[in-house]
Structure 1
Amino acid sequence: MSLEALIFDVDGTLADTEEAHRLAFNNAFERFRLGWKWNQDAYRELLKTTGGKERIAAYLATKTMSAAERKRLTEMIPAIHAEKTKFYSSFVADGNLPLRPGVQRLIEEALAAGCRPAIASTTTAANVDALLTSTLGPRGIEMFSVIACGDQVRAKKPAPDIYRLALQHLGVEADRAIAFEDSHNGLLAAAGAGLRTVVTPTYWTEDHDFSGAAMLLPHLGDAQRPLEGEPGTLLQDGAWLGYPELVRRVCERPLCEVGALYAGAA
């Protein structure tokens, strides 16, 4: 089979961004004098809801208040989220969020092989642009053939809409692409679009259910951060996931297993 595209999630997959998002939310809450503060444990639970505005709405639903106050705060959600995005973009611009190990290496290997990288994320285009420019430089955005973001679809992950949109713009069938995710909702979204998926969890998602992933690794690995115990445990070619092994190992996974994953959880 010819592999034509690698489709990456952003938050947690390209970079471990969630702590920066958490701090940005808290700064926005302080700016609006809401008296809210999300600690790491609370935010880990809130991450089960995809999308920043949706996350605020989910948190608001847990609070006891009058109908009038609930209406007022609900109407403020877009403004709160816009302020949060400004704080997050500032954090990223300061260069404090590096890509996870092996991400840039694998993207460059794919490009050299004629395979097109793409993005399918529930975050905003502004957040994606800020991260790519900060980590990959001025040409970072150009390295991706398609950048599909959450505001472009009606339903966010775990719905498969964002991956279907990315595949549509790429002009690629699902069996000729591989998704990269870090969360259960992301895995369900990719599987729902018929994609085989490589999962690399973080602290925020390490307790999620990843049964059905084509490959599960702590990270992609590189010469500076080789995967412990490799080759020989999960990989055959080396201590990091290289493009040739990705094609050989992941593309062997039957697509029927991918469909069964989504059907069982939808």
Structure 2
Amino acid sequence: MKLKAVIFDMDGLLIDSEPFWKQAEYQVFSAKGVKVTPQLSELTATMTTRQVAEFWFTRYPWADASLDDVENNVIDKVIELVTEQGRPLDGVTETIDILKANQIKIGLATNSPAKVMHSILAKLGIGHKFDVLTSADEVNQGKPSPEIYQLTLSRLGVTASNTIAFEDSLGGLAASVAAGIRTIAIPAQQHYQSDKFAAAAAQLPSLSHFQLELAEQCLAG
């Protein structure tokens, strides 16, 4: 099976944005009287921004702002931090250039809202290289639901059988695998080669280790 498309996750794969999200959420929700703990924050790491707002509201309901307003405050703070400090992770631009040189379609499927997605891609200077961009705003359920991958496949005009996905999280991996896409996992360093990512077709320490032959092998496997 010939490789026709690659779909990338964004947060944690193209950019180390998790610290930005944690900082923004702590600042915004703490101001609403929420007791943001590291343990509970871990549970929100792969949620959409609306799911995160609902998560904290059910535990520490506030009365002086709507969920929309609080969610947008988090988004705006993340964009501010991305603009100030964002940079691509190792191998991002090189991997995209390899795919473009081989006329392979490139998609993005992210649990982040469109506003954050466009800000990150603009900061990294790579937005124009993607054929399709799909954000959490466009689906009913974010990852680990496969819906965002199914929509991205449809937009790219390809099937799961000739597509590879890149994911760094278990929720993202569950989504891509549920969509039938063979996936290369690039977990955080402390989780590299963990059995938790056994559903992946392959694991890499970073995108800088990617070679086109590996994607072809994953499809053949």
Q: TM-score, normalised by structure 2?
A: 0.91
* Secondary structure in 1 matching 2:81: helix
Separation of aligned partners in 2, 1:214 and 1:44: 25
Q: Is the 8 A contact 1:46 1:59 kept in 2?
A: no
Q: How does 1:77-226 map to 2 (within 5 A)?
A: 77-94=67-84, 96-136=85-125, 140-202=126-188, 209-221=196-208
**Higher helix proportion, which one?**
2
Aligned position for 1:250: 218
Separation of aligned partners in 1, 2:9 and 2:188: 13
Residue 7 (str. 1) matches residue 4 (str. 2): no
Q: Is the 8 A contact 1:183 1:201 kept in 2?
A: yes
Task: State percent identity of aligned pairs.
Answer: 27
Aligned position for 1:234: none
Q: Is the 8 A contact 2:21 2:78 kept in 1?
A: yes
* Larger RCO (CA under 8 A, 6+ residues apart): 2
Quick one: which amino acid aligns to residue 61 of structure 1?
Answer: T
Aligned position for 2:210: 241
Separation of aligned partners in 2, 1:81 and 1:130: 16
Shift of 1:40: 4.1
Give 5+ residue unaligned stretches, structure 1. Answer: 64-69, 222-239, 254-266
Separation of aligned partners in 2, 1:23 and 1:171: 38
Aligned position for 1:224: none
Give 5+ residue unaligned stretches, structure 2. Answer: none
Q: Is the 8 A contact 2:5 2:106 kept in 1?
A: yes
Quick one: which amino acid aligns to residue 19 of structure 1?
Answer: P
**For residues 26-55 of structure 1, what are the alpha-carbon distances to aligned partners after superposition, in whole Å with 9 as ceiling and x for unaligned?**
23235xx3123535443223225x211102
Q: TM-score, normalised by structure 1?
A: 0.76
Shift of 1:100: 1.6
Q: Is the 8 A contact 1:22 1:38 kept in 2?
A: no
Distance 1:21 1:71, change over 3 A: closer
Aligned position for 1:35: 33
Separation of aligned partners in 1, 2:172 and 2:63: 32
Residue 53 (str. 1) matches residue 43 (str. 2): no
Distance 1:109 1:125, change over 3 A: same
Shift of 1:72: 4.0
Separation of aligned partners in 2, 1:181 and 1:134: 20
Q: Is the 8 A contact 1:110 1:117 kept in 2?
A: yes
Aligned length: 220
Q: How does 1:6-25 map to 2 (within 5 A)?
A: 6-25=6-25
Shift of 1:211: 1.6
Distance 1:205 1:57, change over 3 A: farther
* Secondary structure in 2 matching 1:251: helix
